[in-house]
Chains A and B, each alone.
Chain A
Amino acid sequence: MLSSLRVFAEALFSTEEGPPPAERLDWLMGEMREYLHRAGPGARVIFGLALFAATWLSPLFIWRLPTLRNLEIPQRIKALTRMEESFASAPVLAVKAFLCVVYYEHPDVQREVGHVGSATFPMSLGPPS
């Protein structure tokens, strides 16, 4: 699941200069792994289904074969954008929301969006319950 999530995140957070730095994506994936671990099994299943749908269906919106992983980043952006603007937007929006909640807590990203002074990381939460 995490590798598909990274493929999605590379597109979502790309700028004109390209995808975010690899170490930032590494941090994001580490946080997402921990987040999913703490979410209940029901939430994991729903999220997994949304990611599966976005990964497999979005290429069809630009007349390409699945999956999102097989597309270059500019094409991924186009595919996900088309799906987000379509009647079938829910899976893309769900994955996007989940990624954004964590990604925008990275101190560098917070500086980029002007939300300074609220991030404290990283820390270990200990074992989940």
Chain B
Amino acid sequence: MSAVQGFHDGARHEGPLELDADVVVVGSGAGGAVVAAILAEAGQRVLVLEEGRHVPQAEYATLTPSQQMRAMWRDAGLTFAVGVGDSPVINVMMGKCVGGSSVLTGGVCFRTPETVLEGWRTKRGLPMFTQAHLAPFFEEVERAVNVEEVPESLRSRSTQLFHEGATKLGHPLKPMRRNTRNCEGHSKCNFGCPTGAKRSVDLSFLPRATARGAQIWSRCLVERVTHADGRANGVVGRLLNGDEGGPGTNFTVHATRVVLAAGAYHTPLLAQASGIGRASGQVGHNLTLHPGFRVMGRFDEQVQGWRGALQSMYADDWEPEGITLTSLFLPPGVLAATMPGIGPKHVERARQIGQLGAFGGMVHDEGGGVVRRGPGREPFVTYRMHQKDKAVVPKLMRLMADIWFAAGAKEVFLPVLGLGGVTPDRLRTLDLEHVKGRDLECGSQHPLGTCRMGPSKETSVVDPYGECWELPGCSIADGSVVPTSLGVNPQLTIMTMALRIAHHLAAA
């Protein structure tokens, strides 16, 4: 029996399990939850399978950031893309819980930029992706998750200072939109909103799905899509009811439609294990990440950047060069970790974290990542940063440092390993253009593109409505189908593309 209506825990189920459904959705994040809600509301029997645990929203406030990472982040936050050539190692953060990464985003919602859609139409063979075609889907998602502009009153002092600095340099920031309602500015979006203000899919689309009878099974590891007569007819896998939460007994789901929505790291692994994508050779390739870099400024005043919305403003003035700047903040441990020194010197510096402002910059990348099956349950991912993308990183760092100094910072901390604090004089003499890729601190929360959408099975994995070219009855509806990098936070694009796919399936 489930403790909450519609929710079941595979780790608590004894023995094998066999279930029937009209549609089985693998993954409960931004893509899977949307599909589950729309198809359940269309009267279909929907079953959602999630590898991670179900942590009710009420428990988010009881967990510290590192406890959240252990409970709800994939690999406890220690997932990496290995840099190839002169590329950095990139820490890729993803959710592994009911609600997926939507529980852990800053809530930032950008519509897909027109320049990106134009590329899809002219270079990727997807002429249907116009603003007019997508507008009703964007509007439906924005209503469902309550996308709203972040009010000025919620801006943290850190963001205010960066805004002041950017304005002095002639580039005032713009307010962001996020999927929130009654946000109180606890700055903990990345660790599960403690008040439920962020309308992540566990609080928006999944309740709609369960209200219409959808069943959600957490801690179920799907291993393969099954098929007969050339058509998908279910999935098989193992419940995580084994020793120490590992794979235990088998489960089988029979369904007339399979929807893969396990994200850009795990959907390609499932596709490969199921024999999908052999014709194109594209499964697992074309990974884009939006490599992100944080730059911090130290002020004489107490900034206490953790007071206010985690993300509230951005700058896209440098988007033509591939740079977008977005506000962010970091838990104290992460801030302290960037402080140089060991022992008393480190502790003294760590006591200054209240004086730090932080801002992020991300690169609109060309891609170059590959997801391959690893030795265990997790994939082995490599990322070769495009030369053009690597070339913009020094500009990004100088730009953000200049903005912090214009705001009055005494020193800045750049994302270069072992560099320490940098004063204005030192910045002028630093040879950032020749910093090696391996010495860059880099993170990502936006893996995309590993089962991309396209016009033919020779060049893509799924058709323009997400159906696998090589396995009818199996669709993909997550970030892996996004054809190219976006240059902006992708959750709204992912939800919108999933909604479009779901409505198509519901009408079929």
Q: Spell out A's residues near B (CB within 8 Å).
A: 11-16, 31, 34-35, 37-43, 46-47, 73, 76-77, 80-81, 84-86, 89-90, 92-93, 96-97, 100-105, 110, 112-115, 118-121, 123, 125, 127-129
Residues A41 and B376 in contact, CB atoms below 8 Å apart: yes
Once the chains are docked, how many angstroms separate the CA of A80 from the CA of B240?
Answer: 41
Q: Which of B73-108 contact A (CB under 8 A)?
A: 75-76, 78-80
Residues B75 and A39 in contact, CB atoms below 8 Å apart: yes
A37 contact set on B, CB distance < 8 A: 244
Residues B306 and A35 in contact, CB atoms below 8 Å apart: no
Residues A77 and B342 in contact, CB atoms below 8 Å apart: yes
A129 contact set on B, CB distance < 8 A: 11, 51-53, 219, 240, 245-246
A-B contact pairs, 15 of them (CB 8 A): A11-B343, A14-B344, A35-B66, A35-B70, A39-B75, A41-B376, A42-B378, A100-B337, A101-B69, A105-B332, A113-B332, A113-B336, A114-B302, A123-B62, A127-B244
Once the chains are docked, how many angstroms separate the CA of A102 from the CA of B219?
Answer: 26
Residues A104 and B336 in contact, CB atoms below 8 Å apart: yes
Further 5 A-B residue pairs, CB within 8 A, beyond A97-B334, A120-B63: A40-B377, A80-B342, A92-B342, A96-B337, A125-B63
- Counting CB contacts under 8 A, is B340 at the interface? yes
Once the chains are docked, how many angstroms separate the CA of A80 from the CA of B334?
Answer: 19
- Counting CB contacts under 8 A, is B345 at the interface? yes
Residues A31 and B66 in contact, CB atoms below 8 Å apart: yes
Q: A39-B76, A89-B418, A123-B62 are in contact. Are A16 and B67 (CB under 8 A)?
A: no
Residues A123 and B337 in contact, CB atoms below 8 Å apart: no
Residues A81 and B418 in contact, CB atoms below 8 Å apart: no
Residues A81 and B347 in contact, CB atoms below 8 Å apart: no
Residues B245 and A123 in contact, CB atoms below 8 Å apart: no
Residues A121 and B332 in contact, CB atoms below 8 Å apart: no
Residues B417 and A114 in contact, CB atoms below 8 Å apart: no
Please, which residue of chain B has its CB at the minimum distance from the CB of A47?
A: B78
Q: A43-B75, A125-B71 are in contact. Are A93 and B418 (CB under 8 A)?
A: yes
Query: What DSSP secondary structure best describes chain A's contact surface?
Result: helix
A76 contact set on B, CB distance < 8 A: 342
Q: A100-B333, A129-B53 are in contact. Are A81 and B63 (CB under 8 A)?
A: no
Once the chains are docked, how many angstroms separate the CA of A31 from the CA of B70?
Answer: 10
Once the chains are docked, how many angstroms separate the CA of A86 from the CA of B417?
Answer: 10
Among listed B31-39, B142-150, B348-356, interface-contacting one: B348-356
B302 contact set on A, CB distance < 8 A: 114
Residues A102 and B345 in contact, CB atoms below 8 Å apart: no
Residues B61 and A120 in contact, CB atoms below 8 Å apart: yes
Encode contact with A along B110-140: 1 for CB under 8 Å, 0 otherwise.
0000000000000000000000000000000
B62 contact set on A, CB distance < 8 A: 120, 123
Residues B340 and A77 in contact, CB atoms below 8 Å apart: no
- Chain B's nearest CB lies how many Å from the CB of A106? 10
Point out the residue from B67, B76, B306 that lies within 8 Å of A115, measured CB to CB. Answer: B306
B374 contact set on A, CB distance < 8 A: 42
Q: A14-B347, A81-B342 are in contact. Are A97 and B337 (CB under 8 A)?
A: yes
Q: A81-B345, A114-B354, A115-B332 are in contact. Are A40 and B337 (CB under 8 A)?
A: no
- Counting CB contacts under 8 A, is B64 at the interface? yes
Point out the residue from B66, B240, B342 that lies within 8 Å of A101, measured CB to CB. Answer: B66
Q: Spell out B's residues near A (CB within 8 Å).
A: 11, 51-53, 61-67, 69-71, 75-76, 78-80, 188, 219, 240, 244-246, 302, 304, 306, 331-334, 336-337, 340-347, 350-351, 353-354, 374-378, 380, 417-418, 438
Once the chains are docked, how many angstroms separate the CA of A31 from the CA of B71?
Answer: 13
Q: A102-B333, A105-B333 are in contact. Are A115 and B354 (CB under 8 A)?
A: yes
Residues B331 and A101 in contact, CB atoms below 8 Å apart: yes
Please, which residue of chain B has its CB at the minimum distance from the CB of A41?
A: B376
B340 contact set on A, CB distance < 8 A: 84
B331 contact set on A, CB distance < 8 A: 101, 104-105
Q: A101-B334, A115-B332 are in contact. Are A84 and B67 (CB under 8 A)?
A: no
Point out the residue from A15, A38, A85 that lies within 8 Å of B347, measured CB to CB. Answer: A15
- Chain B's nearest CB lies how many Å from the CB of A97? 4
Point out the residue from B71, B244, B341 that lies within 8 Å of A84, measured CB to CB. Answer: B341
Residues B11 and A127 in contact, CB atoms below 8 Å apart: yes
A16 contact set on B, CB distance < 8 A: 344
B334 contact set on A, CB distance < 8 A: 97, 100-101
Q: Which 10 A-B pairs have the closest CB atoms?
A: A43-B78, A129-B245, A77-B343, A100-B337, A104-B333, A89-B418, A101-B333, A97-B337, A39-B76, A80-B342
Point out the residue from A81, A100, A102, A123 that lies within 8 Å of B343, measured CB to CB. Answer: A81
A96 contact set on B, CB distance < 8 A: 337, 342, 346
Please, which residue of chain B has its CB at the minimum distance from the CB of A81?
A: B342
A81 contact set on B, CB distance < 8 A: 341-343, 345
- Chain A's nearest CB lies how many Å from the CB of B179? 23
A105 contact set on B, CB distance < 8 A: 64-66, 331-333
Q: A12-B346, A81-B342, A120-B61 are in contact. Are A103 and B333 (CB under 8 A)?
A: yes
- Chain A's nearest CB lies how many Å from the CB of B91? 10
Once the chains are docked, how many angstroms separate the CA of A71 from the CA of B65?
Answer: 33
Residues A12 and B342 in contact, CB atoms below 8 Å apart: yes
Q: A40-B376, A101-B65 are in contact. Are A113 and B351 (CB under 8 A)?
A: yes
Most buried by A among B52, B332, B340: B332
